[in-house]
């Protein structure tokens, strides 16, 4: 609700930027802590984190340009001048995972084992980042008359003076719960990849649902769904098609 948190001389500390920085730090620290706890090769934590971060940022921006391709073609200069504006989380997830896979391939590591380590931290980082969205007013919800509505007054992104669904807080709460669920699954997993599969399925379900309450424009549509909902359906279908055959084979062999 207040993006300009602090002024130190000519320096302004913005809520969104601060929360993103906290999210990045939280991802790395939880990765390192859990790597030591579960006896992973800790020397790979920082480079893998860096690969995933770079790939995630690049993918999130590219997916945003895809959803806004008409405006980008019309005025590409604006997007290069405002590079910090506009990211698609799903793009960051997909390319971040791809870069992580490349790193594990290069270094001969188990991709599924490391994905199980990394993805709970990603869920935590997403929750912290959504608090930044709330402070800035981006990723806002549809207009509502319900008591849970919030009203922005000085946002550069959300319409001011209108009661809106607090979708940023919905997302943050969901992401924190997601993190806790994944940690619980990690303690009980029987095979590598269980946490990674759980992350993709749970995030897809939650994101698909929250999208119905989003009111911000420029997210793109594919048929009756938003771009993120269509990606959520595609990711869920791909994961289930990859996992179910092995599960059914195991059951039939018992």
Q: pLDDT tens digits, residue range 141-178?
A: 999 999 999 999 988 889 999 999 999 999 999 999 99
β-strand partners of 143: 164
- Mutual angle of helices 194-210 and 111-136, in 10-degree steps: 30
In terms of C-beta distances under 8 Å and separation of at least 24 residues, what long-range contacts does 154-163 make, across chains too? 154/2, 154/3, 155/1, 155/3, 156/3, 157/216, 158/216
Please identify which residue in the block is written with the tokens 């959520």: 232
Is the pTM value of this prediction over 0.85?
A: yes
In angstroms, the CA 211 to CA 99 distance is 27
Mean pLDDT of 33-49: 97
Q: Closest Cα to residue 141, out of 161, 177, 174, 170?
A: 170
Locate 27 and state its tokens: 């991802």
Lowest mean pLDDT among 69-73, 78-82, 167-171: 78-82
Does 247 score more than 60 pLDDT? no
Q: What is the pLDDT of residues 18-27, one digit of tens each?
A: 999 999 999 9
């Amino acid at each position: 609700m207040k993006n300009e948190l602090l002024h130190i001389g000519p320096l302004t500390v913005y809520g969104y930027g601060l929360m993103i920085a906290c999210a990045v730090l939280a991802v790395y620290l939880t990765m390192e802590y859990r790597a030591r706890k579960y006896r992973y090769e800790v020397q790979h934590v920082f480079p893998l984190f860096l690969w995933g971060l770079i790939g995630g940022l690049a993918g999130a921006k590219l997916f945003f340009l895809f959803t806004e391709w008409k405006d980008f073609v019309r005025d590409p200069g604006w997007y290069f001048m405002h590079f910090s504006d506009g990211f698609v989380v799903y793009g960051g997830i997909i390319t971040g995972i791809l870069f992580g896979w490349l790193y594990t391939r290069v270094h001969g590591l188990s991709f599924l084992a490391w994905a199980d380590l990394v993805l709970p931290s990603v869920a935590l980082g997403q929750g912290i980042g959504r608090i930044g969205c709330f402070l800035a007013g981006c990723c806002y919800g549809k207009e509502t008359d319900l008591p849970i509505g919030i009203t922005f007054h000085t946002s550069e992104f959300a319409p001011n003076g209108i009661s809106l669904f607090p979708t940023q807080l919905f997302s943050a709460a969901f992401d924190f719960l997601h993190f806790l669920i994944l940690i619980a699954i990690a303690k009980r997993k029987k095979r590598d990849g269980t946490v990674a599969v759980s992350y993709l399925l749970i995030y897809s379900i939650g994101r698909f649902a929250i999208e119905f309450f989003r009111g911000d424009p420029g997210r793109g549509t594919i048929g009756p769904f938003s771009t993120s909902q269509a990606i959520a359906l595609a990711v869920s279908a791909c994961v289930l098609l990859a996992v179910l055959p092995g599960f059914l084979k195991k059951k039939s062999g018992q």
